[in-house]
Chains A and B, each alone.
Chain A
């Protein structure tokens, strides 16, 4: 168990600095800080900013690994600063750099626009054949627990962008969709309520699509939420193969609709017991 009473250890932080207004290329700043057990890299950066380097810039928000804002390249691995404890890194020198494979806006701030653009390109939403039902819903699309579990893992993506920073293919091919977008392409295409695989094919092209992935597994190693994008990409490849030989999802497999009256009835049926206090 963490014990903050233990003597703090002096750790040297090498932080990559870049100011677009004055620098042509990044340089390294070195700072020393007494780190106690349990202190995260994000907490250390806050302390450095408060005590030593007020101009230091980074992006963060929730401090609990939910928002995905504080992705950084810590000791040569993409990690969330808020989930990385300094002493767990096991080194006396900790290097903190902005996520690679993105443009560096300032200090530790990457420009995540390509991530969002690629995510949007794969149409990350349910595409249903039943447009009448979509526009004027009469009920809810049914999904069994098994159908839900088959995609659930891939719905946990927080779009932190660590997977693109880890991916060796993204490093050399800027047009490669990358693990995040491809995982989301699979997540929606595999959803039993969706019939949009063919609509996504334009984005999931062959030259910059899933077949550029040679299963390095770096994205799955880096993912802080256990999404396992490499797994989703392999399943997407299988889906594409099955679809090309005529074993793809059939229209008959489109989710059935539960009328609203039945939905209300089901809610009543599974309603919690009355309060006792």
Chain B
């Protein structure tokens, strides 16, 4: 490489680019939530395999672990996991519906002020997210107040 050649600065946002949703719209935050919850569920799957592998260490080890999981901190973690799973699934339904072209409207001549498909499918977004919130709240009440 020619050392005299001026080098451009790498301005790629990287992880910050998808973690920080800043002044973008609601759907940008859903994108963030979808990815974070997806990573959380993958992490859970790995931990779940490690956890169930403890059964091989005998009944006492297994029962000790189960007693630990029955404690409050783990209940809260379990609830967060449940909330992540519900959010990811419901948002996944939204993505599936839109990926098949539904609830986005039809292509049209762009006339200012522009109407985007994101705005047009927002009622669906609110309905699905409302349902997700209801399931998460109901799930929490049954988990913490059985």
Q: Interface residues, chain A, CB within 8 Å of chain B? A: 18, 20-21, 23, 25-26, 75-77, 98-105, 110-111, 149-154, 156, 166, 168-172, 174, 214-218, 220-221, 223, 225-228, 230-231, 234-235, 237-238, 241
- Is B110 within 8 A of A104, CB to CB? no
Most buried by A among B15, B23, B35, B98: B98
B129 at the interface (CB under 8 A from A): no
- Is A215 within 8 A of B110, CB to CB? no
- Known contacts A230-B116, A230-B118, A234-B117; is A150 also within 8 Å of B101 by CB? no
B14 at the interface (CB under 8 A from A): yes
B9 partner residues in chain A, CB cutoff 8 A? 18, 20, 23, 25-26, 103-104
Give Cα A152 to B106, complex, Å.
11
B99 at the interface (CB under 8 A from A): yes
B73 at the interface (CB under 8 A from A): no
Give Cα A76 to B11, complex, Å.
14
A100 partner residues in chain B, CB cutoff 8 A? 11-13, 17
B133 → chain A, closest Cβ, in Å? 19
- Is A153 within 8 A of B107, CB to CB? yes
- Is A171 within 8 A of B16, CB to CB? yes
How would you classify the secondary structure of chain B's contact residues: helix, strand, loop or mixed? loop
Taken residue by residue from 70 to 114, chain B's Cβ proximity to chain A (1 for < 8 Å, 0 otherwise) reads as 000000000000000000000000110011110011111111101
- Is B117 within 8 A of A76, CB to CB? no
- Is A217 within 8 A of B27, CB to CB? yes
Interface contact tally, CB-CB below 8 A: 150
B14 partner residues in chain A, CB cutoff 8 A? 171-172
Contact of B110 among A153, A171, A217 (CB under 8 A): A153
- Is B107 within 8 A of A21, CB to CB? no
- Is B25 within 8 A of A217, CB to CB? yes
B22 at the interface (CB under 8 A from A): yes
B144 at the interface (CB under 8 A from A): no
A245 → chain B, closest Cβ, in Å? 12
Most buried by A among B18, B109, B112: B18
5 additional contacts, CB 8 Å, given A25-B9, A153-B108? Answer: A100-B11, A172-B15, A230-B117, A234-B99, A234-B101
Give A224's nearest chain B residue, CB to CB. Answer: B114
Give A228's nearest chain B residue, CB to CB. Answer: B116
- Known contacts A217-B118, A226-B114; is A102 also within 8 Å of B28 by CB? no
The 5 tightest CB contacts between A and B, nearest first, are: A171-B17, A226-B110, A226-B114, A20-B6, A216-B31
B35 partner residues in chain A, CB cutoff 8 A? 214
Give Cα A25 to B9, complex, Å.
7
A110 partner residues in chain B, CB cutoff 8 A? 11
- Known contacts A230-B118, A237-B99; is A104 also within 8 Å of B8 by CB? yes
Give B91's nearest chain A residue, CB to CB. Answer: A214
Give Cα A99 to B34, complex, Å.
25
Contact of A76 among B22, B27, B28, B107 (CB under 8 A): B22
B107 → chain A, closest Cβ, in Å? 5
B52 at the interface (CB under 8 A from A): no
- Is A151 within 8 A of B107, CB to CB? yes
A215 partner residues in chain B, CB cutoff 8 A? 27, 30-31, 94-95, 98, 118
- Is A214 within 8 A of B31, CB to CB? yes
A57 → chain B, closest Cβ, in Å? 12
B61 at the interface (CB under 8 A from A): no
A18 partner residues in chain B, CB cutoff 8 A? 9
